[in-house]
Amino acid sequence: MSIGGSLFLIAVGAILYFAVTATFVGIDIATVGLILMIVGVLGLVLGLFMLSRSRRDGGQPGAY
């Protein structure tokens, strides 16, 4: 997941969690928003880790 995709998931999740008040039978919109924010944060952390790792290795894929 890219950093941009992670930021998008965080933004959509925050909108669903904090701003949407609609209700659906069987679906809690706030819970869906919270899950999207958590997945986005995990993706962002992983993406930043991979980015820093590739820069530390000289930017060459596969270099350890």
pLDDT above 70: residue 30? yes
Q: Which residue has the tokens 């991979």?
A: 50
- d(CA 45, CA 11) in angstroms, rounded, equals 15
Confirm if 50 and 13 have CB atoms less than 8 A apart.
no
- d(CA 37, CA 26) in angstroms, rounded, equals 20
pLDDT above 80: residue 40? yes
The 10s digit of each residue's pLDDT in 2-15 is 889 999 999 999 99
pLDDT at position 42 is 96
Confirm if 39 and 9 have CB atoms less than 8 A apart.
yes
pLDDT at position 51 is 86
pLDDT at position 24 is 86
For residue 20 the two structure tokens come to 């949407």
